[in-house]
């Protein structure tokens, strides 16, 4: 420590014993009384007090819901060839490529399938026999007159929360929400729906961003929040078994007391369910360190479309007996089964945590810094996020809770790095060497390092507030793409140029901001295009251009949000016709009647 202090003029007061004490809270380490206060020569590294912004989150606020967007999958022909300066579509295409493109452009408007039954009062009476409490049924369908009904109809507005998504972009017209509390109840509901050809949509916390969790038409909503029990936690192995409707943040708080943490973290953690996370194969902020749910989920309990309960709720780390069927349900977005139970391995909670934000002058610098951060802090790195100045400005102007700007000037790019480990001295030392190197080499223009929990939360707020602030500013066309890291920002610049060429970009115009941010460490770019309304004219400028661009650089049109309704016809940009064919066969195998989450994912 002495060496670092002298080299970087650090001040430290805490004893090693204080620093090493294990704390249950994720960010408790940042409360160490003697957290280092860094000041690196000539630059404002780091000791400015940051705003007391705390991640109260708990429940994600819904942005303004005043405008209504009617979903249409129709979109105009691409003007790509004239407006795409860097990525060009080849003139000669292979038959496979042509087939892919044909699929992408099969843009038939979704229509309600008359294969599915209309819900009647008699159906609701049947559900009332399965669900013991009247509060488990919410319906606008009145009981038949004269019947001794066990339920009452409610005003349609009471179903709004379930029929509309977080962005208020997708709007269903379901007349019935069922709220089972046990796997058996889910199974009985599905048996009935299967026998009557009733289409259903599984719904978790309804924080999905691709329209997957709300009905397209009048599908019955099965809301899984009633399945919210923790079944077991093995403190030696760190394996958690719980109901699918448990809220991610509640689970994290529960196991924090035992020194563990959930292997995933996302801005919607206060509302999203672990079942929804598994169904969407959510990525989030810890993906870089702990990897995909495909690796962390050990077992699942699933109710199949015909009501069969498939119990694969294993807690084994190793099990090579046959096909690993649970993997099919991870990322299946409620199209082949309803997840009712989850077994997941959780990592130890780190006792030392550091968060820093650097300001940079170019996207090249972002990439260079990423390389340096991996080189110096690879094994303790838990997040590497980037955001551009537009995102920063949007947060400063529109975030609900004030998020303090810790810098003296605005910069074109920012990166947030988080390190977490079990030895604070070790981590501090590594970070110290990194910071000195970055400053001496002129790779960063400025930087701030959190000194306590409040500041740590304040720095995270700069990044995590972007989706919410964009939603406050206007209607957001969200794109969640993965691609080679060196291509990521080129797309943001191309999109801005494209809007400029159409004369719709700028203050007072249709498109107010094009924000680029995301998980650099995972090659995952989020482009949020903030418009005055969900206008088809704007959508047609964006699509299919953005998907073709991504496909040309061999990226994925959905890095982590899934396909849902938004991208049900877009899968061909990222998957071959053969793969799609086999996906359709899998859907057909589990759900031959197609009653589970129809019209979405892969349109069959
Ligand atoms: C502010 C904000 C930040 C976000 N950040 C991230 C992020 O960093 N990374 C990321 O990946 N996502 C992110 N998301 C998207 C979203 O939070 C995730 O997709 C999340 O996993 C959805 O969980 P949910 O419980 O809300 O599911 P819902 O929105 O209710 O449903 C999503 C899909 O899963 C299906 N489903 C839900 N529960 C079940 C179940 N039990 N069984 C079967 N199918 C089910 C639904 O039918 C639907 O298709 C963010 C969203 C918001 C609003």
Please write the tens of the pLDDT for every residue from 5-54.
222 222 222 322 232 233 333 333 333 333 333 433 333 444 333 322 22
Give the per-residue pLDDT at 68. Answer: 29
How far is residue 392's CA from residue 464's CA, in Å, rounded to a whole number? Answer: 11
pLDDT at 272 over 90: yes
Give the per-residue pLDDT at 32. Answer: 35
Per-residue pLDDT, averaged over 327-336, amounts to: 98
Three-state secondary-structure class, residue 228: coil
Count of alpha carbons within 13 angstroms of residue 592, beta-carbon side: 3
Backbone angles phi, psi at 462, to 5 degrees: -55, -35
Verify whether ligand 1 is closer than 6 Å to residue 243 (CB atom).
no
Count of alpha carbons within 13 angstroms of residue 140, beta-carbon side: 14
Three-state secondary-structure class, residue 79: coil
Whether residue 283 contacts residue 261, with contact meaning beta carbons closer than 8 Å, is answered with: no
Q: What is the mean pLDDT of the chain?
A: 85
Ligand 1, from 282, 525, 591: best to mutate by most atoms within 8 Å of Cβ? 282
Distance 224 CA to ligand 1 centre (A): 13
Q: Give residue 249's Cα distance to chain centre.
A: 14
Distance 335 CA to ligand 1 centre (A): 14
Ligand 1, from 252, 280, 465: best to mutate by most atoms within 8 Å of Cβ? 280
pLDDT at 516 over 70: yes
Whether residue 274 contacts residue 246, with contact meaning beta carbons closer than 8 Å, is answered with: yes
- Asked: is 115-163+170-349 a CATH 3.30.465.10 domain? The reply is yes
pLDDT at 575 over 90: yes
Reported as type and span, the H/E element at residue 374 is helix 363-377
Verify whether ligand 1 is closer than 6 Å to residue 482 (CB atom).
no
Confidence of residue 145 (pLDDT cuts 50, 70, 90): confident
Ligand 1, from 165, 279, 328: best to mutate by most atoms within 8 Å of Cβ? 279
Which residue in 5, 594, 24, 481 sits closest to 586, CA to CA? 594
Give the per-residue pLDDT at 360. Answer: 97
How far is residue 206's CA from residue 356's CA, in Å, rounded to a whole number? Answer: 32
Residue range(s) of every CATH 3.30.70.2190 domain in the chain? 2-60+352-466
Per-residue pLDDT, averaged over 313-328, amounts to: 96
Count of alpha carbons within 13 angstroms of residue 304, beta-carbon side: 17
Helical packing angle, 453-464 and 466-473, nearest 10°: 50
40-97 tens-digit pLDDT? 333 344 433 332 222 333 344 444 333 222 222 333 333 332 222 333 333 344 544 4
Give the per-residue pLDDT at 604. Answer: 52
How far is residue 350's CA from residue 468's CA, in Å, rounded to a whole number? Answer: 28
Distance 359 CA to ligand 1 centre (A): 31
E strands, 520-603, where?
524-531
Verify whether ligand 1 is closer than 6 Å to residue 559 (CB atom).
no
Cis before residue 52, ω within 30 degrees of 0? no
Query: Within a 10 A sphere around the Cβ of 253, how many other Cβ atoms?
Result: 15
Whether residue 201 contacts residue 222, with contact meaning beta carbons closer than 8 Å, is answered with: yes
Which residue in 53, 52, 47 sits closest to 451, CA to CA? 47
Distance 561 CA to ligand 1 centre (A): 7
Distance 332 CA to ligand 1 centre (A): 12
Q: Is the dihedral of CA 44, 353, 253, 16 positive or negative?
A: negative
Confidence of residue 521 (pLDDT cuts 50, 70, 90): confident
Residue range(s) of every CATH 3.30.465.10 domain in the chain? 115-163+170-349
Three-state secondary-structure class, residue 157: helix
Verify whether ligand 1 is closer than 6 Å to residue 207 (CB atom).
yes
387-432 tens-digit pLDDT? 999 999 999 999 998 899 999 999 999 999 999 999 999 999 999 9
Per-position DSSP letters for 196-218, written without gaps between them? HT--EEEESSS--SSS-SS-SSS
Distance 260 CA to ligand 1 centre (A): 23
Three-state secondary-structure class, residue 474: coil
Q: What is the DSSP pairing of strand 338-345 with strand 239-243?
A: antiparallel
Distance 383 CA to ligand 1 centre (A): 20
83-135 tens-digit pLDDT? 223 333 333 445 444 444 444 444 346 899 999 999 999 999 999 999 999 99
Give the per-residue pLDDT at 99. Answer: 43
The length of the chain in residues reads 604
pLDDT at 564 over 60: yes
Query: Within a 10 A sphere around the Cβ of 584, how many other Cβ atoms?
Result: 13
Distance 165 CA to ligand 1 centre (A): 11
**Buried b / exposed e across 305-327, counting CB within 10 Å, b at 16+?**
bbbebbebbbbeeeeeeeeeebe
Q: Which atom of ligand 1 is nearest to the CA of 329?
A: 43
Q: Which atom of ligand 1 is nearest to the CA of 275?
A: 41
Which residue in 530, 511, 600, 521 sits closest to 559, CA to CA? 521
Give the per-residue pLDDT at 87. Answer: 38
Q: Which residue, judged by its Cα, is nearest atom 7 of ligand 1?
A: 284
How far is residue 155's CA from residue 175's CA, in Å, rounded to a whole number? Answer: 10
Q: Which atom of ligand 1 is nearest to the CA of 165?
A: 29
Give the per-residue pLDDT at 109. Answer: 67
Distance 272 CA to ligand 1 centre (A): 6
User: What CATH number matches the domain at 2-60+352-466, 3.30.2350.10, 3.30.70.2190, 3.40.50.300, 3.60.15.10?
Assistant: 3.30.70.2190
Strand partners, 511: 505, 531
Per-residue pLDDT, averaged over 205-228, amounts to: 98
């Amino acid at each position: 420590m002495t060496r670092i202090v002298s080299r970087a003029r650090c001040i430290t007061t805490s004893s090693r014993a204080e620093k090493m004490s294990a704390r249950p809270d994720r960010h408790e380490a940042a409360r160490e009384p003697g957290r280092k206060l860094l000041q690196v020569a000539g630059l404002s590294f780091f000791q400015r007090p940051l705003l007391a912004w705390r991640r109260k989150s708990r429940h994600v606020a819904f942005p303004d819901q005043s405008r209504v967007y009617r979903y249409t999958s129709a979109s105009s022909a691409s003007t790509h060839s004239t407006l795409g300066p860097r990525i060009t579509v080849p003139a000669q295409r292979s038959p496979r490529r042509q087939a892919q493109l044909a699929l992408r452009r099969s843009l038939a408007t979704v229509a309600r399938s008359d294969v599915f039954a209309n819900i009647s009062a008699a159906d609701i009476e049947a559900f009332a026999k399965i669900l013991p409490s009247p509060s488990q049924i919410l319906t606008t369908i009145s009981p038949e007159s004269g019947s001794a009904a066990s339920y009452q109809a409610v005003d349609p507005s009471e179903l709004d929360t379930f029929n509309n998504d977080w962005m208020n972009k997708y709007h269903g017209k379901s007349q019935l929400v069922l709220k089972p509390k046990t796997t058996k109840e889910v199974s009985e509901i599905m048996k009935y729906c299967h026998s009557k050809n009733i289409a259903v949509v599984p719904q978790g916390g309804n924080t999905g961003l691709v329209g997957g969790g709300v009905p397209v038409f009048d599908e019955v909503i099965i809301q899984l929040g009633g399945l919210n029990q923790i079944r077991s936690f093995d403190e030696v192995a760190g394996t958690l078994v719980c109901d699918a409707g448990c809220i991610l943040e509640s689970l994290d708080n529960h196991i924090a007391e035992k020194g563990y943490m959930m292997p995933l973290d996302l801005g919607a953690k206060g509302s999203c369910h672990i079942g929804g996370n598994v169904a969407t194969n959510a990525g989030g902020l810890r993906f870089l360190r702990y990897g995909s749910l495909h690796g962390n989920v050990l077992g699942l309990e699933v109710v199949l479309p015909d009501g069969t309960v498939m119990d694969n709720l294993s807690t084994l780390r190793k099990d090579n007996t046959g096909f690993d069927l649970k993997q099919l349900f991870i990322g299946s977005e409620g199209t082949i089964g309803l997840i009712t139970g989850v077994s997941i391995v959780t990592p130890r909670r780190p006792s030392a945590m550091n968060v820093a934000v650097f300001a940079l002058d170019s996207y090249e610098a972002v990439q260079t810094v990423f390389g340096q951060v991996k080189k110096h802090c690879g094994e303790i790195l838990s997040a590497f996020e980037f955001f551009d100045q537009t995102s920063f400005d949007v947060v400063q102007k529109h975030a609900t809770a004030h998020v303090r700007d810790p810098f003296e000037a605005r910069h074109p790019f920012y990166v947030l790095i988080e390190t977490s480990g079990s030895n604070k001295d070790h981590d501090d030392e590594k970070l110290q060497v990194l910071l000195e190197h970055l400053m001496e080499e002129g790779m960063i223009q400025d930087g701030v390092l959190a000194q306590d929990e409040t500041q740590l939360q304040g720095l995270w707020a700069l990044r995590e507030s972007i989706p919410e602030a964009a939603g406050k500013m206007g209607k957001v066309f969200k794109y969640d793409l993965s691609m080679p890291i060196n291509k990521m920002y080129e797309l943001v610049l191309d999109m801005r140029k494209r809007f400029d060429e159409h004369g719709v970009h700028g203050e007072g115009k249709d498109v107010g901001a094009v924000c680029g941010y995301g998980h650099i460490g995972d090659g995952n770019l989020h482009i949020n295009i903030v418009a005055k309304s969900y206008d088809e004219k704007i959508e047609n400028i964006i699509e299919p251009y953005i998907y073709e661009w991504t496909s040309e650089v061999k990226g994925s049109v959905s890095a982590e949000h899934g396909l849902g309704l938004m991208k049900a016809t877009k899968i061909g940009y990222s998957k071959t016709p053969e793969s799609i064919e086999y996906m359709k066969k899998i859907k057909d195998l589990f759900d031959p009647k197609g009653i589970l989450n129809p019209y979405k994912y892969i349109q069959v």
